[in-house]
Structure 1
Protein backbone atom coordinates (compact mmCIF):
# COMPACT_ATOMS: atom_id res chain seq x y z
CA UNK A 1 0.00 0.00 0.00
CA UNK A 2 1.33 3.41 -0.95
CA UNK A 3 0.13 5.67 1.85
CA UNK A 4 1.16 8.80 -0.02
CA UNK A 5 -1.10 7.95 -2.95
CA UNK A 6 -3.90 7.09 -0.54
CA UNK A 7 -3.50 10.46 1.22
CA UNK A 8 -3.28 12.24 -2.16
CA UNK A 9 -6.39 10.42 -3.43
CA UNK A 10 -8.40 11.23 -0.31
CA UNK A 11 -7.25 14.85 -0.45
CA UNK A 12 -8.09 15.05 -4.15
CA UNK A 13 -11.53 13.58 -3.38
CA UNK A 14 -12.05 16.35 -0.85
CA UNK A 15 -10.91 18.95 -3.36
CA UNK A 16 -13.39 17.56 -5.90
CA UNK A 17 -16.20 17.64 -3.34
CA UNK A 18 -15.41 21.24 -2.36
CA UNK A 19 -15.21 22.22 -6.04
CA UNK A 20 -18.57 20.65 -6.82
CA UNK A 21 -20.43 21.89 -3.74
CA UNK A 22 -18.93 25.33 -3.14
CA UNK A 23 -18.16 25.96 -6.80
CA UNK A 24 -21.76 25.39 -7.79
CA UNK A 25 -22.95 27.84 -5.15
CA UNK A 26 -20.21 30.48 -5.46
CA UNK A 27 -19.29 30.27 -9.14
CA UNK A 28 -21.86 28.48 -11.29
CA UNK A 29 -25.03 30.11 -9.97
CA UNK A 30 -23.65 33.68 -10.28
CA UNK A 31 -22.17 32.82 -13.68
CA UNK A 32 -25.48 31.53 -15.04
CA UNK A 33 -27.39 34.56 -13.79
CA UNK A 34 -24.93 37.22 -14.98
CA UNK A 35 -25.33 39.42 -18.04
CA UNK A 36 -22.60 37.69 -20.04
CA UNK A 37 -23.58 36.67 -23.58
CA UNK A 38 -25.09 33.19 -23.79
CA UNK A 39 -22.28 31.42 -25.70
CA UNK A 40 -19.37 32.47 -23.44
CA UNK A 41 -21.52 31.87 -20.37
CA UNK A 42 -22.33 28.32 -21.51
CA UNK A 43 -18.71 27.63 -22.46
CA UNK A 44 -17.60 28.67 -18.97
CA UNK A 45 -20.33 26.47 -17.51
CA UNK A 46 -19.02 23.50 -19.52
CA UNK A 47 -15.44 24.28 -18.45
CA UNK A 48 -16.54 24.20 -14.81
CA UNK A 49 -18.05 20.75 -15.40
CA UNK A 50 -14.91 19.62 -17.22
CA UNK A 51 -12.82 20.58 -14.20
CA UNK A 52 -15.28 18.71 -11.97
CA UNK A 53 -14.83 15.55 -14.04
CA UNK A 54 -11.06 16.05 -14.13
CA UNK A 55 -10.81 16.38 -10.35
CA UNK A 56 -12.96 13.29 -9.76
CA UNK A 57 -10.99 11.20 -12.27
CA UNK A 58 -7.67 12.35 -10.79
CA UNK A 59 -8.83 11.38 -7.31
CA UNK A 60 -10.00 8.00 -8.62
CA UNK A 61 -6.65 7.41 -10.35
CA UNK A 62 -4.74 8.14 -7.15
CA UNK A 63 -6.99 5.87 -5.11
CA UNK A 64 -6.57 3.17 -7.76
CA UNK A 65 -2.76 3.50 -7.54
CA UNK A 66 -2.69 3.42 -3.73
CA UNK A 67 -2.79 -0.39 -3.26
CA UNK A 68 0.23 -0.89 -5.57
CA UNK A 69 3.69 -1.13 -4.01
CA UNK A 70 5.64 -0.80 -7.24
CA UNK A 71 6.24 2.85 -8.14
CA UNK A 72 7.88 1.84 -11.43
CA UNK A 73 4.47 0.64 -12.62
CA UNK A 74 2.49 3.53 -11.13
CA UNK A 75 5.04 6.27 -11.71
CA UNK A 76 3.96 7.65 -15.09
CA UNK A 77 0.33 8.10 -14.04
CA UNK A 78 1.35 9.53 -10.66
CA UNK A 79 3.74 12.02 -12.22
CA UNK A 80 1.06 13.06 -14.70
CA UNK A 81 -1.45 13.67 -11.90
CA UNK A 82 1.17 15.55 -9.86
CA UNK A 83 2.07 17.74 -12.84
CA UNK A 84 -1.60 18.34 -13.42
CA UNK A 85 -2.14 19.64 -9.87
CA UNK A 86 1.06 21.72 -10.01
CA UNK A 87 -0.25 23.31 -13.22
CA UNK A 88 -3.62 24.06 -11.62
CA UNK A 89 -1.83 25.56 -8.61
CA UNK A 90 0.38 27.69 -10.84
CA UNK A 91 -2.60 28.92 -12.86
CA UNK A 92 -4.40 30.08 -9.72
CA UNK A 93 -1.27 31.76 -8.35
CA UNK A 94 -0.44 33.54 -11.61
CA UNK A 95 -3.97 34.84 -12.10
CA UNK A 96 -4.36 35.82 -8.44
CA UNK A 97 -1.02 37.59 -8.19
CA UNK A 98 -1.48 39.44 -11.49
CA UNK A 99 -4.75 41.13 -10.49
CA UNK A 100 -3.31 43.51 -7.91
CA UNK A 101 -5.69 42.68 -5.07
CA UNK A 102 -4.72 43.27 -1.45
CA UNK A 103 -3.91 39.93 0.24
CA UNK A 104 -4.28 38.17 -3.12
CA UNK A 105 -3.37 34.68 -1.91
CA UNK A 106 -6.52 34.62 0.19
CA UNK A 107 -8.85 35.99 -2.48
CA UNK A 108 -8.61 32.85 -4.61
CA UNK A 109 -7.40 30.23 -2.11
CA UNK A 110 -7.99 27.23 -4.37
CA UNK A 111 -4.23 26.85 -4.82
CA UNK A 112 -4.06 25.86 -1.12
CA UNK A 113 -6.26 22.86 -1.86
CA UNK A 114 -4.51 21.85 -5.06
CA UNK A 115 -0.87 22.05 -3.98
CA UNK A 116 -1.09 19.39 -1.24
CA UNK A 117 -2.38 16.85 -3.78
CA UNK A 118 0.66 17.51 -5.95
CA UNK A 119 3.07 17.26 -3.02
CA UNK A 120 1.54 14.04 -1.67
CA UNK A 121 1.53 12.50 -5.14
CA UNK A 122 5.20 13.38 -5.71
CA UNK A 123 6.06 11.90 -2.31
CA UNK A 124 4.37 8.67 -3.33
CA UNK A 125 6.07 8.57 -6.72
CA UNK A 126 9.66 8.91 -5.49
Structure 2
Protein backbone atom coordinates (compact mmCIF):
# COMPACT_ATOMS: atom_id res chain seq x y z
CA UNK A 1 0.00 0.00 0.00
CA UNK A 2 1.26 3.44 -0.96
CA UNK A 3 -0.16 6.21 1.25
CA UNK A 4 1.08 8.95 -1.10
CA UNK A 5 -0.75 7.51 -4.10
CA UNK A 6 -3.85 6.86 -1.98
CA UNK A 7 -3.73 10.49 -0.83
CA UNK A 8 -3.44 11.64 -4.43
CA UNK A 9 -6.38 9.44 -5.42
CA UNK A 10 -8.50 10.76 -2.55
CA UNK A 11 -7.70 14.38 -3.49
CA UNK A 12 -8.52 13.57 -7.12
CA UNK A 13 -11.82 11.96 -6.10
CA UNK A 14 -12.87 14.97 -4.02
CA UNK A 15 -11.78 17.26 -6.85
CA UNK A 16 -14.14 15.33 -9.12
CA UNK A 17 -16.98 15.69 -6.60
CA UNK A 18 -16.30 19.44 -6.39
CA UNK A 19 -16.19 19.67 -10.16
CA UNK A 20 -19.56 17.96 -10.48
CA UNK A 21 -21.30 19.87 -7.69
CA UNK A 22 -19.68 23.31 -7.60
CA UNK A 23 -18.51 23.38 -11.22
CA UNK A 24 -21.96 22.52 -12.48
CA UNK A 25 -23.54 25.29 -10.41
CA UNK A 26 -20.92 28.01 -10.97
CA UNK A 27 -19.82 27.20 -14.52
CA UNK A 28 -21.89 24.69 -16.47
CA UNK A 29 -25.42 25.97 -15.79
CA UNK A 30 -24.56 29.68 -16.26
CA UNK A 31 -22.61 28.84 -19.42
CA UNK A 32 -25.53 26.84 -20.84
CA UNK A 33 -27.89 29.74 -20.05
CA UNK A 34 -25.62 32.38 -21.65
CA UNK A 35 -26.36 33.90 -25.02
CA UNK A 36 -23.94 32.43 -27.54
CA UNK A 37 -23.83 29.77 -30.22
CA UNK A 38 -25.73 26.57 -29.42
CA UNK A 39 -22.92 24.58 -31.07
CA UNK A 40 -20.34 26.21 -28.81
CA UNK A 41 -22.54 25.51 -25.77
CA UNK A 42 -22.78 21.83 -26.68
CA UNK A 43 -19.03 21.60 -27.19
CA UNK A 44 -18.44 23.21 -23.77
CA UNK A 45 -21.04 20.89 -22.22
CA UNK A 46 -19.14 17.93 -23.67
CA UNK A 47 -15.79 19.32 -22.51
CA UNK A 48 -17.17 19.72 -18.98
CA UNK A 49 -18.02 16.03 -18.91
CA UNK A 50 -14.76 14.99 -20.61
CA UNK A 51 -13.08 16.58 -17.60
CA UNK A 52 -15.51 14.74 -15.30
CA UNK A 53 -14.53 11.43 -16.88
CA UNK A 54 -10.81 12.19 -16.66
CA UNK A 55 -11.17 13.16 -12.98
CA UNK A 56 -13.05 9.92 -12.27
CA UNK A 57 -10.64 7.65 -14.15
CA UNK A 58 -7.53 9.31 -12.75
CA UNK A 59 -8.81 9.07 -9.17
CA UNK A 60 -9.67 5.38 -9.66
CA UNK A 61 -6.26 4.76 -11.27
CA UNK A 62 -4.42 6.44 -8.40
CA UNK A 63 -6.45 4.58 -5.80
CA UNK A 64 -5.82 1.23 -7.52
CA UNK A 65 -2.10 2.01 -7.80
CA UNK A 66 -2.03 3.11 -4.17
CA UNK A 67 -3.69 -0.08 -2.99
CA UNK A 68 -0.96 -2.15 -4.69
CA UNK A 69 -3.31 -3.88 -7.12
CA UNK A 70 -1.09 -3.13 -10.13
CA UNK A 71 2.43 -4.42 -10.74
CA UNK A 72 4.97 -1.85 -9.50
CA UNK A 73 6.13 -0.70 -12.95
CA UNK A 74 2.56 -0.30 -14.17
CA UNK A 75 1.58 1.63 -11.05
CA UNK A 76 4.62 3.88 -11.43
CA UNK A 77 3.95 4.58 -15.12
CA UNK A 78 0.25 5.25 -14.53
CA UNK A 79 0.95 7.50 -11.54
CA UNK A 80 3.58 9.51 -13.41
CA UNK A 81 1.27 9.94 -16.40
CA UNK A 82 -1.57 11.17 -14.19
CA UNK A 83 0.76 13.40 -12.17
CA UNK A 84 2.11 15.00 -15.33
CA UNK A 85 -1.43 15.69 -16.56
CA UNK A 86 -2.38 17.43 -13.31
CA UNK A 87 0.87 19.38 -13.20
CA UNK A 88 0.32 20.66 -16.74
CA UNK A 89 -3.32 21.49 -15.92
CA UNK A 90 -2.08 23.55 -12.95
CA UNK A 91 0.59 25.37 -14.96
CA UNK A 92 -1.81 26.15 -17.78
CA UNK A 93 -4.48 27.43 -15.39
CA UNK A 94 -1.96 29.64 -13.57
CA UNK A 95 -0.77 31.13 -16.87
CA UNK A 96 -4.34 31.79 -18.00
CA UNK A 97 -5.30 33.23 -14.60
CA UNK A 98 -2.33 35.59 -14.48
CA UNK A 99 -3.09 36.84 -17.98
CA UNK A 100 -6.85 37.11 -17.48
CA UNK A 101 -7.24 40.63 -16.16
CA UNK A 102 -9.34 39.24 -13.30
CA UNK A 103 -8.65 40.74 -9.85
CA UNK A 104 -7.04 38.14 -7.56
CA UNK A 105 -6.97 35.62 -10.42
CA UNK A 106 -5.23 32.83 -8.52
CA UNK A 107 -8.00 32.88 -5.92
CA UNK A 108 -10.86 33.11 -8.38
CA UNK A 109 -9.44 30.42 -10.69
CA UNK A 110 -8.42 28.25 -7.75
CA UNK A 111 -8.55 24.76 -9.28
CA UNK A 112 -4.79 24.85 -9.86
CA UNK A 113 -4.31 24.35 -6.11
CA UNK A 114 -6.02 20.94 -6.21
CA UNK A 115 -4.13 20.00 -9.37
CA UNK A 116 -0.78 20.81 -7.70
CA UNK A 117 -1.68 18.76 -4.61
CA UNK A 118 -2.75 15.76 -6.71
CA UNK A 119 0.37 16.01 -8.90
CA UNK A 120 2.67 16.34 -5.88
CA UNK A 121 1.32 13.26 -4.12
CA UNK A 122 1.21 11.24 -7.36
CA UNK A 123 4.82 12.14 -8.25
CA UNK A 124 5.99 11.44 -4.70
CA UNK A 125 4.09 8.15 -4.57
CA UNK A 126 5.46 7.03 -7.93
CA UNK A 127 9.03 7.54 -6.75
CA UNK A 128 8.42 5.60 -3.53
CA UNK A 129 7.37 2.51 -5.54
Distance of 2:34 and 2:87 partners within structure 1: 31
Choose 98-107 or 30-39, whichever is displaced more.
98-107
Residue of structure 2 in register with 1:66 after alignment: 66
CA change 1:66–1:24 in 2 (3 A) is same
Distance change in 2, residues 1:73/1:53 (3 Å): closer
SS of 1:53 mapped into structure 2: helix
Structure 1: 5+ residue runs without aligned partners? none
Q: Which runs of 5+ in 2 are unaligned?
A: none
CA distance in 2, matches of 1:120, 1:55: 15
Residue 88 of structure 1 deviates from its aligned partner by 1.0
Q: How many residues align?
A: 126
Q: TM-score, normalised by structure 2?
A: 0.93
Does 2:76 align with 1:83? no
Answer yes or no: is 1:48 the counterpart of 2:48. Answer: yes
**What is the Cα deviation at residue 90 of structure 1?**
1.2
SS in 2 for 1:79: helix
**Shift in Å, 1:101:** 2.4
What's the counterpart of residue 12 of structure 2?
Answer: 12
Instruction: Give the Å deviation of 1:75.
Output: 1.1
Aligned to 2:126: 125
Q: Following TM superposition, by how much is the alpha carbon of 1:68 offset from its aligned partner in structure 2, in angstroms?
A: 1.7
What TM-score do you get using the length of structure 1 for normalisation?
0.95
2:69 aligned with 1:96: no
The answer as to whether partners of 1:82 and 1:118 remain within 8 angstroms in 2 is yes
